[in-house]
Amino acid sequence: MTTVHNVEALFPKEGNVITDNCNEKSAIPLARKNYLDISYVSIEFPTSLGPFKALDRVNLKIAKGEFISLIGHSGCGKSTVLNIIAGLLQATEGGVVLEGKEVNDPGPDRAVVFQNHSLLPWLTVYQNVELAVKQVFRNKKSKSEMDEWIRHNLELVHMSHALHKRPSEISGGMKQRVGIARALAMQPKVLLMDEPFGALDALTRAHLQDSLMEIQRDLNNTVVMITHDVDEAVLLSDRIAMMTNGPEATVGEVLEIELERPRHRVALSDNSEYNHYRREVLAFLYERQRKPAEKTA
Amino acid sequence: MKNKIINIFETMGLSWAVPMVKLATGENPKEQGNALFQLLGLPLIAIMLFLGLWSAMAAQVNTSLGTLPGPSQVWAQTVNLYAEHKEERAKEVAFHERQEVRNAKKLEKNPDATIKVRPYTGKPTFFDQILTSLFTVFTGFLLASVIAIPLGIACGLSDNLYTAVSPLIQIFKPISPLAWLPIVTMVVSAVYVTNDPMFEKAFVTSALTVTLCSLWPTLINTAMGVASIDKDLLNVGRVICLNWSAQVFKIALPASLPMIFTGLRISLGIGWMVLIAAEMLAQNPGLGKFVWDEFQNGSSNSLGRIMVAVLTIGLIGFVLDWLMLTLQKFVSHEKSAAR
């Protein structure tokens, strides 16, 4: 049932073998499977103590319409990977290819949902989405089409009731919903989410996860989500990429989640398969990749 | 409706008006009475105490110009100054009337006669001096803002530029206006040479001195405000591919507006203080010159008149600060006072 691949074993550090055993039995054609290709991405940051290598040869191939989570301990470079895909950071070596084109700059085809929502506080909910829509669909949509599109996307995240409220007047969960609407409104090829629910309380988080699953069922976006929440990763993802500890972090193992959709959190809590996946991720995080500080403690 | 009014009062810093509104609409009189006492009664008691102390202590001080004036004498001088102002205005009107009549007569005798229209040359009154000072400080302040805000934004966006100009800012910031004054005076008299000057030299000198001193708080606050913008907000702009100017005007500028206004508020406060000092030292027209003239005059009324001026300076400074604070609250995103 489960397929856990030790990527490090498949790609020895010195080797250049590009094999892909990830999906022997899946019927997805190769072109679709290589929709977003992160290959041999390394990044070094200059510090006063010399260069700091945060990522070392990160490899990940993501299919169109796939929901993939990146999980790892804090500080392992998950966000760095996301920022490189977004084009906000430049890889020192290797690169990212989206639909056959190399990624060098940020762009609306890779919309980002930031952890702390990052809505512009002086604009209303509507205006925040409008800013993105006006910029992305300039000369492509008429004024009324844009208006309709903005309202449609806010409807998707159930925020139609607060179109003209400012971010300071709505709750944290609502802000994050608007953040998601803004990203969706860009009609991105890939939706990048940087711990989107990390700052929310458990109940709000569950609500938003359900909303996200609903949206995902309708739109079937390609999503890369950073998380440190094991349940969230298992519940939402098609695959979970587990990252080793930094420095020189990389994708340690990839876990395929073959749970039937739609998934219901209550039903799953009793599901042995679900619990098995959870155990796999937990074992990776707390047995194979314990934080260095915890090892000595 | 009621909440709207209350909101406006609170944004304007007139929190003592809120219980009044609530009282007027019949909301729990006891509670609102207490609130009113706290917000309005306590300050009033403090002011009364201060006036009493002032009155008692001033009588003990004997100067060469008589005893130090207490509140009642100062009030008498205020009335006096107002009367003088009215009188001066009446004289001006009379002067213009006389001149018109004279010119009309001249034209009646000989339609080709060249008539002369002379401006009135009476001395400026206390209230004229206030207006002059206000006009000067705002000119200097506007000039400073026009320079400081764009430069501050540029410094905030570019680390290199900020590193480059930072030492200059640090050196120029602590310079006293009085140190600038001789240099500004000399430069203005050397450079500002026209036959038909739009502004007086004295005005230009004091306005420029204000500019030089009120430049720095706005510059530093703007730079800090822009530099400390949440990186994710700028990243939002990058993801949707805003061009450079849209990035500045749609994200950087609005995001740092609260900080910019904090800077502007400090700048205006400094500008007002600087102006009074500059006017006193350089004999530029304005409130400072009024104080100095009265001091030189040395009549028995002088000390009272100086105190009127001092209190007016304080009051205007307070109103300017309140104006800026209100503006600042209107532009801030959180709608909470930055106090």
**A209 pLDDT above the threshold of 80:** yes
As a whole-number percent, the residues of chain A with pLDDT over 90 amount to 35
Tokens of B30: 């006891």
- Domain membership of residue B337 (yes or no) is no
Tokens at A167, concatenated: 């971010």
Residue B5: per-residue pLDDT: 81
Q: Tell me, what's the pLDDT at B67?
A: 83
Residue A168 sits at the chain B interface (C-beta within 8 Å): yes
Give the pLDDT confidence of B57-109 residue by residue, as tens digits. Answer: 988 888 887 788 888 888 988 898 888 888 888 888 888 888 888 888 888 88
Kindly state the percentage of chain B with pLDDT values over 90: 27
Q: With respect to residue A235, please indicate whether it lies within any of the assigned structural domains.
A: no
Collect all residues of chain B within an 8 Å Cβ-Cβ radius of residue A118: 230, 232-233, 235-236
At B275-288, the pLDDT tens digits run 888 888 878 888 98
Instruction: In whole angstroms, give the CA distance from residue A252 to residue A6.
Output: 6
Together in a domain, B87 and B198: no
Q: Are residues B292 and B160 in the same domain?
A: yes
CATH of the domain at B276: 1.10.3720.10
Statement to judge: residues B217 and B316 lie in one domain: yes
3-state helix, strand, coil in chain A (%, to 5): 40, 25, 40
Task: List, for residues B206-264, the tens digit of each pLDDT value.
Answer: 899 999 989 999 999 999 999 988 888 999 999 988 888 888 888 988 889 989 999 99
How many Cβ atoms are within 10 Å of B206's Cβ, its own excluded? Answer: 35
Task: Examine the domain organization and report whether B135 and B213 are in the same domain.
Answer: yes
Distance from CA of A107 to the nearest CA of B (A): 5
Least confident of A25-29, A141-145, B303-307: A25-29
**How close B242 gets to chain A, by Cα (Å)?**
7
* CB spacing of B235 vs A106 below 8 angstroms: yes
Return the structure tokens found at B104.
């009309």
Are B80 and B177 found together in one domain? Answer: no
Q: Assess if residue A159 is contained within a domain.
A: yes
Instruction: Say whether A88 and B233 touch across the interface (CB within 8 A).
Output: no
Average pLDDT over chain A reads: 84
Q: Are B133 and B168 within one domain? A: yes
Count of structural domains within chain B: 3
* Contact in structure between B5 and B23 (CB atoms under 8 Å): no
Q: Which three-class secondary structure state does DSSP give residue A173?
A: helix
Report the candidate in A286, A222, A244 with the shortest Cα–Cα distance to residue A63. A222
Is residue B49 domain-shared with residue B83, that is, in the same domain? no
CA-CA distance, B265 to B325, in Å (whole number)?
Answer: 7
Is the pLDDT confidence value at B115 over 70?
yes
Integer distance in angstroms from the first to the last C-alpha of chain A?
A: 36
CB atoms within 10 A of CB B311: 13
Mapping DSSP onto H, E and C, the string for A232-283 reads HHHHHCCEEEEECCCCCECEEEEEECCCCCCCCHHHHCCCHHHHHHHHHHHH
CB B236 within 8 A of CB A186: no
Pairing mode of beta strands A101-102, B62-63? unpaired
pLDDT attached to residue A291: 65
Q: Is residue A276 one of the residues assigned to a domain?
A: no
pLDDT at site B16: 79
pLDDT at A12: 43
Distance, CA of A179 to chain centre: 14
As a whole number of angstroms, the distance between CA A176 and CA A158 comes to 12
Tell me if A114 and B236 make a contact (CB, 8 A cut-off): yes
Burial class from Cβ neighbours inside 10 Å (0-12, 13-18, 19+) for residue A95 reads: middle
Average pLDDT over residues A244-270: 87
pTM for the structure as a whole: 0.77
Q: Where is pLDDT greater, at B100 or B122?
A: B100
Residue B251: its chain A contacts at CB < 8 A? 120
SS3 B53: helix
- Asked whether the beta carbons of B56 and B44 are under 8 A apart, the reply is no
A128 occurs within a structural domain: yes
Contacts of B151 (CB under 8 A, 6+ apart): B165, B219, B222
3-state secondary structure A86-118: HCCCCCCEEEEEECCEECCCCCCCEEEECCCCC
A61-109, pLDDT tens digit by residue?
999 889 999 998 888 888 899 999 999 999 999 889 998 889 889 989 9
Other beta carbons within 10 angstroms of residue B242's beta carbon come to 19
Based on the fold, state whether residues B307 and B227 are members of the same structural domain: yes
What letter represents residue B64's amino acid? Answer: S
Residue B333 has a pLDDT of 65
Backbone phi and psi for residue A30, each to the nearest 5 degrees, phi listed first: -60, -45
Q: So what's the pLDDT on residue A28?
A: 52
Largest CA distance in chain A: 61
For residues B164 and B130, state if they share a domain: yes
Does B12 or A11 have the greater pLDDT score?
A: B12
CA B240 to chain A, closest CA, distance in angstroms equals 5
Backbone Cα Rg of chain B: 26
- Tell me the residue range of the domain where A124 lies: 111-187
- Residues B255, B145 share a domain: yes
Q: What is the DSSP letter of A227?
A: E
What was the pLDDT predicted at B339? 33
Decide if B242 and A135 are in contact by the 8 Å CB cutoff.
yes
The pLDDT of residue A21:
43
Residue entry with tokens 């500004």: B184
Question: How many domains, chain A?
Answer: 1
Residue of B nearest to A127 (CA): B250
pLDDT at A224: 93
ipTM, 2 dp: 0.79
Put simply, whether B98 touches A (Cβ < 8 Å) is no
List the single residue in B232, B239, B334 with the smallest CB-CB distance to A106.
B239
What's the mean pLDDT in B8-25?
79
Query: What's chain B's average pLDDT?
Result: 86
Whole-angstrom distance, CA of residue A210 vs CA of residue B91: 82
Residue owning tokens 């949707």: B240
**B200: confidence class by pLDDT, cuts 50, 70, 90:** confident
CB contact under 8 Å between B232 and A116, yes or no, is yes
A120, part of any domain: yes
Orientation of helix B126-157 relative to helix B302-331, angle to 10°: 40
Q: Which domain holds residue B76?
A: 69-109
- Local structure of B176: helix, strand or coil: coil
A175 and A228 Cβ atoms separated by less than 8 Å: no
Binned at pLDDT 50, 70 and 90, residue A128 comes out as very high
Nearest-CA distance B239 → chain A (Å): 5
Helix axes B126-157, B201-227, angle to 10 degrees: 40
Residue of A166, A222, A28 whose CA lies nearest to B335:
A166
Cβ of B233 and A120 within 8 Å?
A: yes
Residue A271 inside a domain? The answer is: no
Q: In the structure encoding, which two tokens stand for residue A283, read together?
A: 């074992």
A115 occurs within a structural domain? yes
Amino acid (one-letter) located at B230: D
For B108-156, the DSSP string reads HH-TTPPP--PPP-PPP-HHHHHHHHHHHHHHHHHHHHHHHHHHHHHHH
* Helix or strand (DSSP H, E) at A110: strand A110-113
Q: Does B117 map to a domain?
A: no
pLDDT at A150 over 80: yes
Identify all chain B residues contacting A199, using CB atoms and an 8 Å cutoff: none
Partner-chain contact A120 B255, CB within 8 Å: yes
Report if residue A137 sits inside a domain: yes
**Residue B252 CA to its chain's centroid (Å):** 28
The yes-or-no verdict on residue A202 having pLDDT over 70 is yes
Strand partners, A244: none
Q: Considering the domain boundaries, does residue B120 fall inside one? A: no
Residue A44: pLDDT above 70? yes
Cβ of A118 within 8 Å of Cβ of B230? The answer is yes
The answer on B310 and B277 residing in a single domain is: yes
Average pLDDT over residues B3-23: 79
* B194 and B170, same domain (yes or no): yes
